[in-house]
Amino acid sequence: MHAPRALVQDSHAPLDPFGTARALDPRGGLPQPARRVDSDFSRLFPGEMLLAVETLNVDAASFRQMEDAARRAAGGAALSDEACDEAVARQVQATVLERGKQHNPVTGSGGMLLGRVLQLAPGRGEDVAAVGDRVATLVSLSLTPLRIDRVKAVRRASAQIDVDGEAVLFASGAYARLPSDMPERLALAVLDVAGAAPQVARLVERAGAAAQGRRTVVVVLGAGGKSGVLCAAEARRTGGDRVRVVGVERFAPYADDLRALGVCDAVAVADATDPVAVRSAVLEATSGVEADLVFSCVNVPDAEMSAILVTRDRGTAYFFAMSTSFTKAALGAEGVGKDIDLMIGNGFAHRHAEHSLAMMRAMPAIRALFERRYG
Ligand code: NAP
């Protein structure tokens, strides 16, 4: 039973849709860059939505970093999957305790969460959800005040962690009500990367218009993963046979899954941290043609130069991966004399949740694959 929380009333303070009242270090700043936020939910600020948290969908780059750190900490000793999961859960709990939010101090990224609405403080705009509804947040955990009371399970395949806890969403924070026609875990997995596909559609349309009859070459790095599959599928759906889609994936079983979907013209098994090998694999697949558009969807660092080396002059490399370094990309492109557009993958696009969930309804083979992996 939920005990209603008191409201902080300050008649002098303007309504704060961005949650600056919760930033503790530095005080009064924006919560995403803050080192620490206030996760005392015994009271709510105007505009906040209080949630009972059920599942955290940790960002893939962050989850991978915590796994790698746990294995490194074990030294040479082999760490069982269960021990690794426990170590990741401990790292998440420690971060949330220290920072008041799941803001990975190494990758800087967060993830999103699934929860049930407990209370809506006055001062919000029009809400599509009411108390009791189950919702997925569409803003990063790196800015979402969070308290974890208990970790119940870790599901590595989907980077999801079931917990008991609470969180608040600010008035400016996007969220989606969970659809009733698909499993919740599947919806959560898709919503985690919802920003990618709508932006692929825009960029493929734009590149197609500039191609003047030539086939647009699209390369996806990490193409067998969650966002990679959606990017490859969207490029095919938007561009039809006017695009040539090349997927690059390191993990052979995921490369096989991708081939079976039939959305790529070629799938290369290559390591995106090896730019020379990736360039050679891509050029072999395209008969020597460089890419108009490259989407980096890997969950590891050091893949910047693979994206840059395969992009054609005045083409676009789009970095969706949170493991991307701005410095490495900018200085690396300069270093190899590539005049290309480098884009940061914005997690938000208008109607991105509807767009990506609709892909699950329109593309049954991808939905079946994702249900098998994440559902
Ligand atoms: P995912 O499902 O784990 O997919 C990543 C894929 O990349 C996996 O198939 C992985 O294979 C593959 N990969 C890893 N290292 C590789 C390498 N060296 N060469 C080639 N392929 C490699 O992750 P996701 O959920 O799609 O997320 C992908 C990226 O998007 C992450 O960096 C995440 O942080 C980011 N993201 C960004 C936003 C945003 O708003 N911009 C939102 C959500 C997520 P393995 O199975 O071998 O690891």
Q: What is the pLDDT of residues 232-289, one digit of tens each?
A: 999 999 999 999 999 999 999 999 999 999 999 999 999 999 999 999 999 999 999 9
Cis preceding-peptide flag for 26 (omega within 30 of 0)? yes
Q: How many angstroms is it from 127 CA to the middle of ligand 1?
A: 32
Q: How many angstroms is it from 204 CA to the middle of ligand 1?
A: 21
pLDDT of residue 13: 62
Closest Cα to atom 35 of ligand 1: 321
pLDDT of residue 94: 98
Tell the residue number behind the tokens 């270093």, with chain if given: 335
Report how far residue 274's alpha carbon sits from residue 268's, in angstroms, rounded to the nearest whole number. Answer: 13
pLDDT band at 16 (very low <50, low <70, confident <90, very high): confident
Q: Using a 6 Å cutoff on CB, does residue 249 contact ligand 1?
A: yes
Q: How many angstroms is it from 42 CA to the middle of ligand 1?
A: 37
> pLDDT by residue (tens digit) across 45-99?
999 999 999 999 999 999 999 999 999 998 877 889 999 999 999 999 999 999 9
As a three-state string, the secondary structure of 3-69 is CCCEECCCCCCCCCCCCHHHEEECECCCCCCCCEECCCCCEECCCCEEEEEEEEEECHHHHHHHHHH
> Which amino acid is it at 46?
P
> pLDDT by residue (tens digit) across 327-355?
999 999 999 999 999 999 999 999 999 99
Q: Using a 6 Å cutoff on CB, does residue 251 contact ligand 1?
A: yes
Q: pTM to 2 decimals?
A: 0.94
User: Taking CA 368 as the corner, what is the angle to CA 365 and CA 373, rounded to the nearest 5 degrees?
Assistant: 130
Q: How many angstroms is it from 207 CA to the middle of ligand 1?
A: 24
Looking at residues 10-38, what average pLDDT do you find?
A: 89
Choice from 230, 267, 282, 297 to test ligand 1 binding pocket (greatest atom count within 8 A of CB): 297
pLDDT of residue 15: 73
Closest Cα to atom 27 of ligand 1: 60
Residue 125: pLDDT over 90: no
* Residue-by-residue DSSP string for 315-340: EEEEE--TT--HHHHHHHHHHTT---
pLDDT of residue 14: 65
Residue 11: pLDDT over 80: no
Mean pLDDT computed over every residue of the chain: 95
* Residue-by-residue DSSP string for 214-265: SPEEEEEETTTSHHHHHHHHHHHHHHGGGEEEEEEESSHHHHHHHHHHT--S
- 3-class state of residue 171 by DSSP: coil
Q: Using a 6 Å cutoff on CB, does residue 298 contact ligand 1?
A: yes
Tell the residue number behind the tokens 């693979």, with chain if given: 306
The residues near 1 (Cβ < 8 Å, ≥ 6 apart) are none
pLDDT of residue 12: 63
> What phi, psi does 272 have (nearest 5°)?
-70, -10
Give the CA distances from residue 213 to residues 175, 243, 245, 327, in Å, rounded to whole numbers and listed in that order.
40, 10, 16, 35
